[in-house]
Amino acid sequence: MRYAKLVECYEKLEKTTKKLEKRDILAGLYRDCEEDDLYRVTLLSMGAVFSAGGLELGIAEETIKRVIAKVTGAGEADVTKKFKETGDLGLAAEQLLKNKKQETLGRKDLTVEKVFENLRKLPEISGTGSQDKKILLIAELLSSASPKEARYIMRTVLGEMRVGVAAGLVRDALAKAFEQNSEDIEKCFDVIGDYGRVAQLAAEGKLHAEITVGMPVRVMLADRSPGLKEALDEFEKAAAEWKYDGFRIQGHKSGNKIKIFSRRMEDVTNQFPDIAKWARENIKAKECIIEGEALAVDKNLKPLPFQVLSRRIQRKYDIEKTVKEIPVQINLFELLYLNGVSYMNKPLSDRWNALKKIIKETDHFRLADHIEPKSYEEAEKFYKRSLAMQQEGVIVKNLDAHYQPGKRVGFWLKVKEILEPLDLVVVGGEWGEGKRARWIGSLILAARHGNEFVETGRMASGLTEQQMEDLTKKLKPLITEEHGKIVKVKPEIVVEVGYEEIQRSPKYPSGYALRFPRLLRIREKEDKGPKDANTVADIEKFFRMQGRKK
């Protein structure tokens, strides 16, 4: 497909705010698409080139400005000026390209395939000269693009399409395009987590996607419960498991081949060769999909804080060295698939019993602490022990419930001692003073509200110098505006924040403020991104819960 055809569609989408109209425009696009292009077109229509939770392009605005300057012949100052005028690097590229005397002669028509393939190469480029290589790939597209095409290419690179297409809309458009049921589309997505692939299956009329070894499944999530008693009362048959403060992983085994995925479905196999080895040695099954929580532990197997583990997750080189420095322990709690049979629709009691049978436990590769308590006292003792071991509390699970991928449906209830920490997005900050002048020391935080981020306050405490340094490094390329010492940044970094209380506050657009907020940890993007941040509705809920607790 010509890229120009997709661009026509983006334009139409941008012009209307009506959901049904948008759905019909998209449905038309998907229907008219050749089989070969459907995967690419579906993802590009969502402004992406990787499936949800997959790789991110990670191209900073500064890089884009350089590309635009290079291709249009404008100076970088002109690009910045245009960006300030329009607030959109897509429009800036479009207008600057219009001004340029176009040598349309000999310009090749851009195809969807070319745009998709060039952009997909970006995250893989690393090492010396990588910046220049990335610039070349984007510049190649821009030089063949018409001004309008340039607008959307730039926006795709930046991950800001501004055409109002969210997952729900794609689901409904696919349903319409291929005469399928929206619910089936969503179910299929929950299992395979990739709308590009879902589109292909919908087109073939094969939506009943089976869970497949090697393809990540969206993970099941937990709801919060105000207390242990309330959680236990919720289910006829309940299990309680320690809630480990670590990193969720999903392991896929097919013979000797092991793949490990993060909670956001990123392939992290390379970072965990130790877990892969244990899985080969200690799983007595030919094929399976299991889940567990990885913890960093010391020599005596005592759990270490999450920050230590995050060094393992970040590390992309010298892995063997980090494996030795930071040993991990994996605590398994789920079985989704075993030797050709999906276990997702079986009750937890069956999944757990089958998991127990196939795992040969070692100190580092073990089953999660799990009880099926006969009394409240037994559960309470178990819960206190988890807290004493610096873990987060327990998750109470419904033993009769199936595995519901990608959703919080109340089958798992987390019980924690402290008020629920919040995962908030950094939308700005303030440069420090004196000795701290080279760091962004105080952060402006926001909660999610639909596709927007709404301010909920500031946080300056709890940051060590190392954290300030790390955060500044991450935030600097994301700065979009600077006014004196205050900066605004693109909402990409998520931090976990503890606090003493949630208060109503007219001062912030969310309507709530946190009393004594403090940084608990900087989230890795593999763990939680802005889309996983807490919402204003969550804050409201916790606000009400806190009232009940008192």
Please tell me the distance from the alpha carbon of residue 104 to that of residue 268, in angstroms, as a whole number.
44
243 binds ligand AMP (CB under 6 A): yes
What CA–CA distances, in Å, run from 220 to 5, 167, 399, 411, 422?
38, 18, 14, 9, 19
Q: Which residue is nearest to ligand AMP (CB)?
A: 248
Helix residue ranges, H only, 389-492: 465-475
243 counts as catalytic: yes
Beta partners for residue 448, in sequence order? 453, 535
| Only segment of 75-83, 240-248, 269-277, 432-440 that touches ligand AMP (CB under 6 A) | 240-248
Place of tokens 């449905």: 27
Subset of residues 218 to 237 that bind ligand AMP, contact rule: CB under 6 A: 221-222
Smallest distance from ligand AMP to CB 533, Å: 12
**CB 347, CB 401: distance < 8 Å:** yes
SS3 of residue 61 by DSSP: helix
Using CB under 6 A, pick the residue from 37, 61, 194, 241 that binds ligand AMP: 241
Please tell me the distance from the alpha carbon of residue 277 to that of residue 257, in angstroms, as a whole number.
10
For the record, the structure tokens of 347 come out as 């009750």
Smallest distance from ligand AMP to CB 415, Å: 11
Comparing CB distances to ligand AMP, the nearer of 421 and 441 is 421
Beta partners for residue 139, in sequence order? none
Please tell me the distance from the alpha carbon of residue 103 to that of residue 124, in angstroms, as a whole number.
32
Subset of residues 155 to 174 that bind ligand AMP, contact rule: CB under 6 A: none
3-state secondary structure 345-370: CCCHHHHHHHHHHHECCCCCEEECCE
Smallest distance from ligand AMP to CB 248, Å: 3
Size of the site for ligand AMP (CB under 6 A): 13
Which of the following is catalytic: 243, 253, 397, 525? Answer: 243
138 binds ligand AMP (CB under 6 A): no
| Only segment of 56-64, 239-247, 337-345, 444-452 that touches ligand AMP (CB under 6 A) | 239-247
Site string for ligand AMP, 192-221 (x = CB under 6 A): -----------------------------x
**CB 501, CB 515: distance < 8 Å:** yes
333 binds ligand AMP (CB under 6 A): yes
Using CB under 6 A, pick the residue from 61, 94, 184, 293 that binds ligand AMP: 293
263 binds ligand AMP (CB under 6 A): yes
| CB-based burial, 472-501: b 16+ in 10 Å, e otherwise | bebbeebbeeeeeeebebbbbbbbbbbbee
Comparing CB distances to ligand AMP, the nearer of 333 and 542 is 333
244 binds ligand AMP (CB under 6 A): yes
332 binds ligand AMP (CB under 6 A): no
| Only segment of 77-85, 190-198, 242-250, 296-304 that touches ligand AMP (CB under 6 A) | 242-250
SS3 of residue 208 by DSSP: coil
Comparing CB distances to ligand AMP, the nearer of 120 and 414 is 414
Place of tokens 């008219």: 32
Smallest distance from ligand AMP to CB 424, Å: 14
414 binds ligand AMP (CB under 6 A): yes
- Measure CA of the first residue to CA of the last residue in the chain; give whole Å: 61
| CA-wise closest residue to 196 among 215, 216, 218, 174 | 174
| Only segment of 56-64, 98-106, 241-249, 444-452 that touches ligand AMP (CB under 6 A) | 241-249
SS3 of residue 445 by DSSP: strand
Smallest distance from ligand AMP to CB 222, Å: 4
Smallest distance from ligand AMP to CB 507, Å: 28
Comparing CB distances to ligand AMP, the nearer of 391 and 510 is 391
Using CB under 6 A, pick the residue from 153, 203, 395, 440 that binds ligand AMP: 395
Please tell me the distance from the alpha carbon of residue 456 to that of residue 513, in angstroms, as a whole number.
5
415 binds ligand AMP (CB under 6 A): no
Please tell me the distance from the alpha carbon of residue 96 to that of residue 100, in angstroms, as a whole number.
6
248 binds ligand AMP (CB under 6 A): yes
Please tell me the distance from the alpha carbon of residue 546 to that of residue 419, in angstroms, as a whole number.
8
| CA-wise closest residue to 519 among 440, 451, 452 | 440
Please tell me the distance from the alpha carbon of residue 294 to that of residue 261, in angstroms, as a whole number.
12
Using CB under 6 A, pick the residue from 368, 422, 444, 468 that binds ligand AMP: 368
Helix residue ranges, H only, 178-302: 182-192, 195-204, 228-234, 273-282
Smallest distance from ligand AMP to CB 333, Å: 4
Comparing CB distances to ligand AMP, the nearer of 160 and 532 is 532
DSSP assigned state of 532: G
496 binds ligand AMP (CB under 6 A): no
Comparing CB distances to ligand AMP, the nearer of 184 and 392 is 392
Binding residues vs ligand AMP (CB under 6 A)? 221-222, 241-244, 248, 263, 293, 333, 368, 395, 414
Q: Which residues participate in catalysis according to the annotation?
A: 243
